[in-house]
Structure 1
Amino acid sequence: MNLNSKDIPKAGHLLISEPFLQDENFVRSVILVCENNENGSFGLVLNKLSILKLSELVDELNFLESDVYVGGPVEQNTLHFIYFGDQMVSGSIQLGDDLWWGGEFHELILKLKNEEISNENIRFFIGYSGWSEGQLAHELQDNTWIVCDKIDSKSIFYDSPEEIWRNILKNMGGEFQLLANYPIDPRLN
């Protein structure tokens, strides 16, 4: 399969793992692509909760018991965030109409302390998912990922982590609806 421009994910698109992927880091995962260029790709797994709380990672936010997600297996000593709504933090990169990635972290802390930003509209990640130059294109040719270019930002924040993968595939319709119901281990049916 040769990739054409519509198959190449852009910032703000989602990568949905195909149901047969057995890599423990990406089984039934949905990855928000934050950057994809000639140097490689960067994304965050949206549906894999870590065992940590934000208050355990950032002393200045010890008043928040927010969940932290595993953004991917790369550099799990880094903290990343996305948020939903209007731009609330300087330096944020717009990924969709109302979806933002990163920005000035000290400003974010201050706005969370002053309750200028709702904790419900922000998600934190340790680590990230990364691909070197050409690696993601190769994985797309191997049909490891399904690209979704129409994202509903609200579902990213309000669907449960267990349901995001299935719900996005169902909403894509057609053949993807069938994949949404594919069992994790078909031998058990």
Structure 2
Amino acid sequence: MSGMTEPVSFTGRLLVATPAMTDPNFDRVVILLLDHDAEGSLGVVLNRPTPVEVGAVLEPWADFAGEPPVIFQGGPVGLDSALALAVVPGEQGEEEVLGWRRVHGAIGLVDLEAPPELLAGELGALRVFAGYAGWAPGQLEDELKEGAWFVVDSEPGDVSAPAPERLWRAVLRRQRGELALVATYADDPSLN
């Protein structure tokens, strides 16, 4: 059919909550989109560390966890499930690493059922997430129209940022133009 355009995929990009975001689950979050297509969207919150150490839940993977070596709350859905991300250097199209599936660039999902030794020589810092953020078909697009999210490019270091509490500001600060100014937005606007 002519006139039909393929929807733009945001897989591998970041959703950065705007100050207008009113849902407390997503206040000042940075989400890496792992999947975005006609079926809906799925991502993980990169900046919500929990006090739970990776070794307390997934002991075989503890030595691979980046700083801080804790489980992150990936979102409000499926908190009883875990998924892990890691950076594996190399170019798209190169042979995939067993136990790791490329999501975008050097960022990929780790199969936590695989023996860690399979990946030992390949992985950059591992980050483990309990739960995820999910959207039904069209839901994320509606939230974008409402101004709830900024969509920006991700960088491999976002996945393993050693100071996740500063990631929201850091991601905004590296943007060009007016978007960088949003990084200076006060945590509590009533204090201005």
Same fold by TM (over 0.5)? yes
Corresponding residue number in structure 2 for 1:86: 89
Aligned alpha-carbon RMSD (Å): 2.5
Corresponding residue number in structure 2 for 1:139: 143
After superposition, the Cα gap between the structure-2 partners of 1:123 and 1:39, relative to the gap in structure 1 and judged at 3 Å, is same
| Distance in 1 (alpha carbons) for counterparts of 2:35 and 2:115 | 21
| Distance in 2 (alpha carbons) for counterparts of 1:122 and 1:25 | 24
Number of aligned residues: 180
Question: Which amino acid is 2:100 matched to?
Answer: S
Q: Which moved more, 1:161-170 or 1:88-97?
A: 88-97
Q: Which moved more, 1:83-92 or 1:127-136?
A: 83-92
Contact 1:44 1:72 in 2 (8 A): yes
Secondary structure, aligned partner of 2:36 = strand
| Distance in 2 (alpha carbons) for counterparts of 1:63 and 1:177 | 36
Cα displacement (A) at 1:19 = 1.5
Asked if 1:57 corresponds to 2:57, the answer is: yes
Corresponding residue number in structure 2 for 1:96: 104
Contact 2:41 2:137 in 1 (8 A): yes
Cα displacement (A) at 1:159 = 4.5
Q: 1:116 aligns with which of 105, 114, 121?
A: 121
Contact 1:156 1:164 in 2 (8 A): no
| Distance in 2 (alpha carbons) for counterparts of 1:97 and 1:46 | 17
Cα displacement (A) at 1:97 = 2.2
Contact 1:11 1:35 in 2 (8 A): yes
TM-score, structure 2 normalization: 0.82
Corresponding residue number in structure 2 for 1:22: 22
Q: 1:67 aligns with which of 49, 67, 70?
A: 70
Cα displacement (A) at 1:117 = 5.2
Cα displacement (A) at 1:173 = 1.8
Corresponding residue number in structure 2 for 1:163: 166
Corresponding residue number in structure 2 for 1:31: 31
Contact 1:9 1:147 in 2 (8 A): no
Secondary structure, aligned partner of 2:83 = strand
Secondary structure, aligned partner of 2:24 = coil
Corresponding residue number in structure 1 for 2:93: none
Q: Which runs of 4+ in 1 moved over 6 A?
A: 62-65
Cα displacement (A) at 1:125 = 0.2
TM-score, structure 1 normalization: 0.83
Secondary structure, aligned partner of 1:35 = strand
After superposition, the Cα gap between the structure-2 partners of 1:60 and 1:188, relative to the gap in structure 1 and judged at 3 Å, is same
Question: Which amino acid is 2:168 matched to?
Answer: W
| Distance in 1 (alpha carbons) for counterparts of 2:108 and 2:64 | 20
Q: Which moved more, 1:171-180 or 1:83-92?
A: 83-92
Corresponding residue number in structure 1 for 2:42: 42
Q: Which moved more, 1:62-71 or 1:179-188?
A: 62-71
Contact 2:72 2:129 in 1 (8 A): yes
Cα displacement (A) at 1:128 = 0.3
After superposition, the Cα gap between the structure-2 partners of 1:163 and 1:187, relative to the gap in structure 1 and judged at 3 Å, is same
* Percent of paired sites with the same residue: 28
